């Protein structure tokens, strides 16, 4: 759990890049990343989730049915700067692999940190979607990312 | 014309004879000559794959990427319920009880099995450990990885979970597991090269019913497999994409 956790709850409106928004209750409580697991999801080229493994379901707090067909940005935590995701999309749309540290928002308002890698899925030369694999980050990388992202908000 | 079959060198030595039984079974089913070539190390096997000396391979998931995407191999089957998982273990008396407690400068005993090594390194990341601040000692087998831990020539060992489970209880009792991966979608796969692809329909038909007759079941159990199951092209591509996210950044 992060030293900064207060357990406090706040109401936040999260604005997404496509102009939509939602009201979310944010709880300042970290859920530890489980040892030895990978969170795996796939999306279509527009970021709509098409596959979610059990670790993703467990950590996000959503059911698989809730995740499939939803935009991946449902996980976006308001503490994550928009510029981080702009860099992600710029990289993967150029056909390259992206990786970075991400604070994800759970359905219950708590959060979890991941080291995420996203790659484009190319079939017969055509982009059919993206695969994202998340793994356990170190505490030092989380601390560095918290400090960096705070300056980018 | 005889074809060449090979097996990823990470199979357990106890099952060598099983692969010879499988080769005999295969020749009877396909009514063609198939030669089984086994290798001690990945490097020589990869060299022969690149030299077009392999027509069928029970490949580990890391090599599947090269075989499918670069060399035109196709997945015909995968073993049912046999995911490749990795275990990180230490000596039972080690002061370390979690990965996060492991300090810089430790020596890690590992094998040349690319999947296990890659996953092992990923599971060390929470401790801020990478190849720049640890020493790796590459050895020939999981038994030797265990020996290095017991003799305290290494503080940490990477094991294929199946390899760890097959160690004797006496050895296992002298080690403790810090973490065991639970990925479940990464596994070995039976692949067929371009020259043998005309046999795929027959091969799949026979492989998927192999566990239903006594002889086939005997061969499977000698390879420590329960049964073969279908693996679609998309499932294969998905597994390769997943592996790609884990290697080289």
> pLDDT per residue over A50-66, tens digit each?
999 999 999 999 999 99
CATH top-level class of B2-82+185-246: alpha beta
Which CATH architecture best describes the domain A32-152?
Answer: 2-Layer Sandwich (3.30)
Distance from CA of A39 to the nearest CA of B (A): 9
User: What are the b/e assignments for A111-135, b being 16+ CB within 10 Å?
Assistant: bbbbbbbbbbbeeeeeeebbbbbbb
Q: To 5 degrees, how large is the angle CA A37–CA A42–CA A47?
A: 130
pLDDT band at B48 (very low <50, low <70, confident <90, very high): very high
Distance from CA of A31 to the nearest CA of B (A): 15
Alpha-carbon distances, residue A86 vs A17, A89, B97, B225 (angstroms)? 9, 5, 39, 46
Q: What is the pLDDT of residue B50?
A: 94
Report chain A residues whose CB lies below 8 A from the CB of B242.
38, 40, 131, 133
CA B120, chain centre distance (Å): 14
- Residue B188 parent element (H or E): none
Q: Which tokens sit at B223?
A: 């390879």
Residue from A91, A38, A40, A92 nearest B125 by CA = A38
Residue with tokens 């640890």: B134
What is the C-alpha to C-alpha distance for residues B58 and B7, in angstroms, rounded to an integer? 5
Q: Where are chain B's structural domains?
A: 2-82+185-246, 86-180
According to the CATH classification, is domain B86-180 in 3.40.190.10? Answer: yes
Q: Which residues of B fall below an 8 Å CB-CB distance to A?
A: 98-100, 122-123, 125-128, 179-185, 237-238, 241-242, 244-246, 249
Q: Which residue in A36, A37, A131 is closest to B242 by CB distance?
A: A131
Distance from CA of B99 to the nearest CA of A (A): 9
Instruction: Give per-residue pLDDT as tens, B211-236.
Output: 999 999 999 999 999 999 999 999 99
**Across chain B, what does the average pLDDT equal?**
94
Please give the average per-residue pLDDT across B56-72, as a whole number: 94
Q: Is the pLDDT of residue B249 over 90?
A: no
Instruction: Give the largest Cα separation in chain B, rounded.
Output: 59
What is the C-alpha to C-alpha distance for residues A87 and B88, in angstroms, rounded to an integer? 34
Asked if A119 and B241 come within 8 Å (Cβ–Cβ), the reply is yes
Neighbours of A48 (CB within 10 A): 14
Q: Does A127 touch chain B (CB under 8 A)?
A: no
């Amino acid at each position: 759990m992060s030293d900064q956790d207060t357990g406090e709850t706040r109401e936040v409106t999260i604005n997404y890049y496509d102009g939509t928004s939602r009201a979310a209750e944010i709880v300042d409580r970290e859920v530890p990343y489980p040892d030895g697991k990978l969170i795996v999801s796939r999306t279509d080229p527009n970021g709509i989730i098409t596959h979610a493994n059990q670790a993703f379901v467990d950590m996000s707090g959503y059911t698989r049915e809730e995740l499939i067909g939803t935009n991946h940005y449902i996980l976006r935590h308001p503490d994550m700067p928009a510029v981080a995701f702009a860099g992600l999309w710029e990289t993967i749309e150029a056909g390259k692999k992206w990786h970075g540290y991400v604070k994800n928002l759970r359905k219950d308002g708590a959060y979890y940190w991941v080291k995420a890698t996203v790659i484009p899925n190319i079939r017969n030369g055509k982009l059919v979607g993206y695969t994202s694999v998340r793994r356990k980050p170190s505490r030092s990388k989380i601390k560095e990312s918290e400090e960096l992202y705070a300056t980018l908000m | 014309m005889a074809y060449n079959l090979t097996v990823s060198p990470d199979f357990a030595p106890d099952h060598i004879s099983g692969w010879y039984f499988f080769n005999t079974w295969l020749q009877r089913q396909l009514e063609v000559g198939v030669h089984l070539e086994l290798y001690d190390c990945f490097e020589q096997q990869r060299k022969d794959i690149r030299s077009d000396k392999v027509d069928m391979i029970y490949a580990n998931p890391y090599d599947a990427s090269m075989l499918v995407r670069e060399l035109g191999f196709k997945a015909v089957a995968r073993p049912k319920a046999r995911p490749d998982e990795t275990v990180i273990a230490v000596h039972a008396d080690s002061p370390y009880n979690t990965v996060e407690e492991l300090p810089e400068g430790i020596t890690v005993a590992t094998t040349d099995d690319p999947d296990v090594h890659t996953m092992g390194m990923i599971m060390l990341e929470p401790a801020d450990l990478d190849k720049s601040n640890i020493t790796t000692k590459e050895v020939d087998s999981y038994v030797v990885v265990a020996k290095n831990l017991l003799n305290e020539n290494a503080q940490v060992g990477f094991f294929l979970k199946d390899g760890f489970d097959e160690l004797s209880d006496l050895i296992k009792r002298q080690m403790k597991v810090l973490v065991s991966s639970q990925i479940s979608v990464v596994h070995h796969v039976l692949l067929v090269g371009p020259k043998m692809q005309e046999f795929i329909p027959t091969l799949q038909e026979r492989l998927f019913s192999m566990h239903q007759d006594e002889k086939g079941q005997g061969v499977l159990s000698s390879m420590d497999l329960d049964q073969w199951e279908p693996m679609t092209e998309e499932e294969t591509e998905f597994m390769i994409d997943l592996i790609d996210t884990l290697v080289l950044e």
